């Protein structure tokens, strides 16, 4: 046992004294290279835009994207903006460049991902609009002829506002001064001017100079001196068959001692200029009817009116024709035979009732005048006529224009007057008769000057309204 113990101990000692064996080294893994995010702008940089602006699309590419990062854009200007579609696309940013209305400009768009990337945006200056060439001044249209009618203060705002109806035209004598209508010719130009002055005519409508001065177009039609009434001021241009009217919104008329100059602006914006080298008007030779004369009579021979049931009636209309004479419409009636002699008389202002010898004529130098009967081109009977009525007293069954002769009216001193008719119709038939009756005269509305015509004479049943006064 002892030996065994010793042996074991010796063995243990031997074991304890033997050196430890070295460990076998383990293989180490190779180090992995670091993975980097790569962000690259692939669209044009810088980006250039015209002044009109438009869509700014910035395209990019990302290698080894980091899922924790997003691409964003920022700008330090307000003329590059985001939209709902800014981040909707793949690998692109969509922005809007506004229209440039000023000088050229530059901005930077900063894209942020792993770091910041800049895109330069350039925009051209706004296009400089060339200064428009000034519109050439319209040349004045020459209208060589002047026709006119003087109406005194019949249409004026006050008794001191005198009305001149002018027609500047390419033809002469285009106004029928009796009716106030203008005469239409094919391929003509008419400029109507409704002028009001503080100066009356020295010789009524027979002859006058258009008063010098400056007149403004009056859209309110006040009929005051210094104005042109817009309602009756217009341009009328005729073709072969019809005409075209042009009305105006503003303008002026300048009358000198030598000419009339007109500047008007039409409703469509067109500017017009007109000139007439005339200011003087002479109507002495124009006071004649412009209508149809002859062969309107229904008489088959001479006629003597018995005047068994006579009546005399006259109505005064003042200086209706503005010729320096009072105008009367006189009815010499026979209610027994339903016949009438209807006369258009012109008398001196001082005649408070038409009396004396009246001659059928258009010569205004005569003191007392019967204006001859005629028919207008539309068939309307004008001035002096013989008329026969049916038994109802209204239906016309015969007529004849009176074109020559005399009527003598005498005051009998007993509140009756006698009218002796010695007249001739357009066929040469004599119309005679002697009528004695009480003379009912409405008025008289005579006046000392043509300018004092009451406004109430403007329109009435017997005399047609002047067509220049539509």
Residue 459 has pLDDT above 60, yes or no: no
How does the average pLDDT of the chain come out, rounded?
85
pLDDT for 468 equals: 32
2-11, 242-251, 456-465, range with the lowest pLDDT: 456-465
With tokens 């408070």, the residue in question is 352
- Give the confidence band of 294 by pLDDT, cuts at 50, 70, 90: low
Q: Which two tokens stand for residue 287?
A: 């006071």
Q: Please provide the DSSP assignment of 314-363 as one string.
A: EEE-SSTTSSSSEEEEEEEEETTTTEEEEEEEEE-TT-SS--EEEEE-S-
Please name the fold of domain 38-123: Immunoglobulin-like (2.60.40)
Q: Which two tokens stand for residue 25?
A: 């080294």
> Domain extents for the chain?
38-123, 141-286, 303-448
DSSP reduced 3-state for 40: strand
pLDDT tens digits along 52-89:
999 999 999 999 888 888 999 999 899 999 988 888 88
Residue 270 has pLDDT above 60, yes or no: yes
Percent of the chain with pLDDT over 90: 60
93-107, 354-368, 387-401, 453-467, range with the lowest pLDDT: 453-467
pLDDT for 133 equals: 82
pLDDT for 21 equals: 63
pLDDT tens digits along 373-386:
988 767 788 899 99
Question: What pTM was estimated for this model as a whole?
Answer: 0.57
pLDDT tens digits along 158-212:
999 999 999 999 999 888 777 677 788 899 999 999 999 999 998 888 889 999 9
Burial environment of residue 293 by CB neighbours within 10 A (0 to 12, 13 to 18, 19 or more): middle
Percent of the chain with pLDDT over 70: 85
Whose CA is closest to 455, among 249, 259, 163?
A: 163
């Amino acid at each position: 046992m002892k030996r065994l113990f010793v042996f074991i101990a010796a063995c243990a000692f031997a074991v304890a004294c033997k050196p430890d064996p070295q460990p076998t080294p383990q293989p180490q893994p190779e180090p992995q290279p670091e993975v980097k995010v790569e962000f690259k702008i692939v669209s044009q940089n810088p980006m250039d835009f015209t002044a009109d602006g438009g869509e700014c699309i910035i395209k990019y590419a990302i290698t080894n994207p980091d899922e924790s990062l997003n691409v964003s854009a920022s700008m330090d200007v307000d003329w590059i903006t985001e939209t709902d579609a800014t981040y909707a696309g793949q690998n692109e940013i969509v922005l809007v460049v506004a229209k440039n209305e000023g000088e050229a400009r530059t901005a930077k768009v900063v894209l942020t991902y792993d770091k910041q990337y800049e895109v330069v945006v350039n925009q051209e200056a706004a296009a400089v609009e060339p200064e428009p060439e000034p519109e050439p001044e319209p040349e004045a249209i020459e209208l060589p002829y002047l026709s006119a009618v003087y109406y005194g203060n019949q249409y004026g705002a006050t008794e001191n506002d005198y009305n001149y109806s002018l027609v500047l035209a390419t033809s002469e004598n285009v106004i029928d001064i009796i009716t106030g209508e203008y005469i239409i010719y094919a391929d003509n130009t008419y400029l109507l001017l409704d002028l009001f002055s503080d100066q009356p005519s020295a010789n009524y409508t027979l002859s006058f100079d258009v008063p010098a001065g400056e007149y403004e177009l009056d859209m309110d039609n006040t009929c005051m001196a210094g104005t042109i009434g817009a309602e009756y001021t217009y341009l009328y241009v005729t073709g072969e068959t019809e005409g075209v009217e042009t009305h105006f919104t503003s303008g002026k008329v300048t009358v000198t001692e030598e000419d009339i100059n007109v500047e008007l602006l039409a409703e469509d914006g067109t500017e017009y200029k007109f000139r007439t080298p005339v200011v003087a008007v002479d109507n002495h030779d124009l006071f004649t009817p412009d209508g149809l004369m002859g062969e309107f009579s229904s008489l088959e021979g001479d006629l003597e009116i018995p005047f068994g049931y006579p009546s005399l009636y006259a109505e005064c209309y003042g200086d209706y024709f503005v010729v320096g004479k009072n105008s009367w419409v006189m009815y010499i009636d026979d209610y027994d035979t339903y016949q009438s002699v209807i006369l258009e008389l012109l008398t001196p202002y001082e005649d408070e009732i038409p009396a004396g010898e009246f001659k059928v004529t258009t010569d205004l130098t005569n003191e007392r005048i019967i204006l001859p009967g005629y028919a207008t081109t539309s068939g309307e009977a004008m001035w002096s006529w013989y008329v026969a009525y049916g038994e109802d007293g209204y239906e016309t069954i015969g007529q004849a224009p009176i074109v020559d002769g005399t009527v003598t009216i005498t005051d009998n001193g007993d509140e009756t007057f006698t009218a002796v008719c010695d007249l001739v119709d357009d066929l040469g038939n004599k119309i005679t008769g002697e009528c004695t009756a009480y003379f009912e005269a409405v008025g008289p509305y005579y006046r000392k000057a043509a300018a004092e015509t009451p406004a109430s004479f403007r329109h009435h049943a017997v005399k047609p309204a002047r067509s220049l006064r539509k």
